[in-house]
Amino acid sequence: MDSKNAATFVAVMFHSGTNAHFMHLQTKSYSEHKALQRYYENIIDLTDRWAEAYQGEYEVIANYPSDYHIAKKPVEYIEQLKDFVDKIRKVLPEDTQLQNIIDEIAELLDSTCYKLKNLK
């Protein structure tokens, strides 16, 4: 099993927690502040669960990408993450336990996107 896609997935998701935390601290909108807080509080645990399950089934992820992109616009960023998850899940292992965690991540992204767009 090639762990490059797994490493990319884990890195992007972990980074999204940090980015959401930065945006949470910078926003002047209370609803945006709370939506981003819920996201960063949950995405790290979900990503950790996925990485541990992957490593239990396949192999330890040894090499993570070193690039990091800072996000500035919450709605655009969450929508980009939704697209990323939709695309990368097709090249990640299809084991149901791993895909179920990705489903939870997709739900968190959908819920966050709804809150950022509709709750003012």
Ranges of each domain in the chain: 4-118
Q: Give the residue among 37, 25, 10 at the shortest CA–CA distance from 93.
A: 10
Per-residue pLDDT reduced to its tens digit, 61-86 = 999 999 898 999 999 999 999 999 99
Rounded to 10 degrees, what is the CA torsion of 50, 55, 57, 59? 140
- Assess contact for 83 and 28: CB atoms under 8 A: no
Other C-beta atoms within 10 Å of 8: how many? 17
Average pLDDT over residues 7-12: 97
Look up the pTM and report it.
0.94
Per-residue pLDDT reduced to its tens digit, 33-62 = 999 999 999 999 999 999 999 999 999 999
**In this predicted structure, what is the pLDDT of residue 49?**
98
Alpha helices in 27-95 (DSSP H): 30-57, 74-88
**In this predicted structure, what is the pLDDT of residue 61?**
96
Average pLDDT over residues 109-114: 98
